[in-house]
Every structure is written in structure tokens, then in C-alpha cells.
Amino acid sequence: MPDLFSPFTLKSVTLRNRIVMSPMTMYNSVNGKLDDYHVCYLGARAAGGFGLVFGEQMAITPEGRTTTSCAGIWSDDQIEGHARVCAIIKRMGGVPAIQLGHTGRKGSELPPHKTATGAREQLPPDHPEGWTCVAPSAVPFGGIYRYPVRELSVDEIKALHRAYADAARRALDAGYQWLEMHFAHGYLGASFLSPIANHRQDQYGGSLENRARFHLEALDAVRAVWPDKYPLTMRLGSDDLNPAGTRFEDSVVAIGWMKQHGLDLADLSLGLNTPEMTDPPFNEPGFMVERANRVRREVGIPVAASWNLGVPQTADRVIREELVDLVMLGRPALSNPHWPVWAARELAHPSPFSMVPEDWGWWLQNFRGHAPSIGLPAAAQADQGIG
């Protein structure tokens, strides 16, 4: 029976545990590049024991960013920063992963920590830091995303698929060993699947097969350049929680098609293609686990889930019960770069410090002295043999 700390192998890649640092937008890039900030931030999570480490969603085009302070991989001159991040993650014992994406209708924003209220704010297209967003149809998202959007032409859709492939090539050159495509949370991929956002009358709209075509062609384009030995995964907006939008039952069918096109693991999340959701479950622990498990059973593909899985006992349970294969942690990873070590101690793992680099682990496992000085919570002093 697996547990949270069991290795996990997919294709030729083996993770040291089932704990994943989930992509989190950090608004800390200049010209889309990664720099010392990202080396420090992501290297710390690898050193803290995370088996798989993602940076933020990396835009495949400049207009695919959320803000002009967001990172990307649309240009060869961005590879160097990504290579530095990959190198530090590997040195600290983790596997470097990249998430490719395009924000679609949810772009042209001001970083939320720079707004007057701390809430999201979309910038108009004529603002120096703004642009006109693109989408499957000229249908604005609503709410704060109130500015007109432009419908993509078929030629532009084909160009975006080439952009995904070009970004995947750069990711490989940088040293990534795991590639995920972000087709959830109301971003471009998710909006193609949702009838709320996709009103097209051509081969990319209407039926489920047509609405999933963007996903399948994107997978084909990336799979053509991404080595088969490395995992190709997708974060999927599987449910809009709105009867007019993406329905989970349809997503299960579509994921089966995606598996046939080279998808190795499904990372289940919400569609978020509309602010009008029925009974949104955002405060419920692990609310995506049940949906992910159904995909695991019915499609026969490994799955990952996020959303409110930061309590170690909950995270461990969903692995032990074989409901999901990987646990994705975003905010918990931001809060505690050593979350895996903390979780191991909470769960009485026999060697929690085995998850940090060997030299650090030696000091923490062998030093005896004044326990509070070491920085461990008092409740853990006895079981670590310190003091």
C-alpha cells in the first residue's frame, strides 16, 4: 500500500514521494525571465522535500501572461533562467516540472498585491501594461474581466499549438523532466472546453468532440517534440459547477480521448469559466479528490488533485486509499517550504529528515543539545531524540 512518502514512477521519472509543489503565480519576472528569486524560491521547496517542483504557469506567448510581471518561455533568451531553476531543483533531490499555459480571457491584469484593495483588477487594452485578450469566442468572462475580448481565428489557433510545441522544446533544453499544460481555471484551454465561453460554429465549437479538439491538437503538437520517456500531463478544468458550462461527465469522456493522444496523468481541477457557480466548495477539504478518483477508475490513468489538501493526515489518507496518485500543494508550499518534513513528523515517519539534503539531514538527526535552539516545535522534541 502506498503512502504520502512512497516513491512514484511515471514513464522514466521517479519522484521520491507523492508531494508536489503546485504552480503558483508569483508576479516576479522581468521580460518573462526567471532569475535569482526563482532559483531561491523553487530550490528551497526542493530542499524542503517536495518530490516534484513546479514554478508558476509559464506563458507560451507574451499575451498569454496574467500580468507583465509573470514568467514565460516564449523566447530562447528565457531558457537560461529556466536552466538555473532546473539545476537547483535537481541538486536538492527534486524533479523539475514546468506548466505551460495561456491565460486567454483572464489576462491583462495588474498584480493583485499592487492594487488598492488587494483584489484582482483587469487593465484596459490601451493601458501601458494591458492588452486585448483572446478567447475561443468574443465573450468576456464577466466580473472584473469586463473588457472586450477577440475571437481567435483558425490560423491563430494553429499558431498557438506551434507555440506550445516551441515552448516544450525550450523546456526540454532547459532540463525539465515533467511537462504539464494548464487547461483549467478559466484560462484559454479551459475556455475552449466550456460552452459558456466557446460559442464557435466551426470545428472547434459545438459538440464535445469539437470543443475538446483544442486540447487534443495541443497534446499532439507537444508530444511530437517532448520525449516519450518524460511525463506529459494536463491540469484540467473538469467542472464549471454551472449546468450551462463544462460538465464533469463530459470531461471524463474527453480525458479518455486525451489519453489516446499521449496524456500520461490528469491533474483534476475546476473549470472556473464563470463566476456564477452552484454551491462552490472552496472551503471543503480535498473536494477534487472524488472527481479525480472517478477519472482514475474509469479512464485508467494516473491522477493528481489539489485544493485543500494541506493537512498531512488528509494528504496521506487519499494516497493510502489509492484515491489519487499525487497531492498538489500550492499555498501550503508557499507557507512552509519544508512542508514534507513537517508532514513526516506529524505522521510519525521514521526518518523525517531524510527528505532534506544529506548534509542538512546529518546535522538535524545527529546533533544533541538545547532543543528549542534548533527550531523544532516543542511537541516534536522527544520523538526526534533531541534535547
Tell me the backbone φ, ψ of residue 239, rounded to 5 degrees: -160, 125
Tell me the backbone φ, ψ of residue 313, rounded to 5 degrees: -65, -35
The CATH homologous superfamily of the domain defined by 8-356? Aldolase class I (3.20.20.70)
Concatenating the DSSP letter of every residue in 197-261 gives T----STTSSSHHHHTHHHHHHHHHHHTTS-TTS-EEEEEE---SSTTS--HHHHHHHHHHHHHT
In the chain, which segments carry CATH 3.20.20.70? 8-356
Q: Low-confidence residues of the chain, pLDDT below 50?
A: 381-387
3-state secondary structure of 166: helix
Q: Is the dihedral of CA 301, 305, 309, 312 positive or negative?
A: positive
Pull the grid cell for residue 17.
Answer: 514521494
- In this prediction, residue 367 carries a pLDDT of 64
Closest by CA to 46, choosing from 12, 84, 9, is 84
User: Measuring CA to CA, how many Å separate 301 from each of 48, 64, 255, 263, 315?
Assistant: 29, 29, 9, 9, 20
Beta-carbon count within 10 A of 279 CB: 6
User: Measuring CA to CA, how many Å separate 228 from each of 72, 266, 364?
Assistant: 23, 16, 39
Active-site position among 27, 147, 187, 204: 187
- In this prediction, residue 119 carries a pLDDT of 84
Closest by CA to 182, choosing from 193, 166, 198, 174, is 193
- In this prediction, residue 4 carries a pLDDT of 98
- In this prediction, residue 363 carries a pLDDT of 85
Give the residues across from 181 on adjacent strands.
Answer: 100, 234
Burial 77-113 (b: 16+ CB within 10 A, else e): ebbebbbbbbebbbebbbbbbbbbbbbbbbbbbbbee
- In this prediction, residue 387 carries a pLDDT of 36
- In this prediction, residue 116 carries a pLDDT of 81
Please state, in angstroms and rounded to a whole number, the distance separating the CA atoms of residues 190 and 332: 25
Residue 27: active-site member = no
Please state, in angstroms and rounded to a whole number, the distance separating the CA atoms of residues 361 and 212: 47
Dihedral of the CA atoms 55, 221, 186, 212 (nearest 10)?
A: -150
The H or E element that residue 328 is part of is strand 326-329
Closest by CA to 170, choosing from 229, 105, 98, 243, is 98
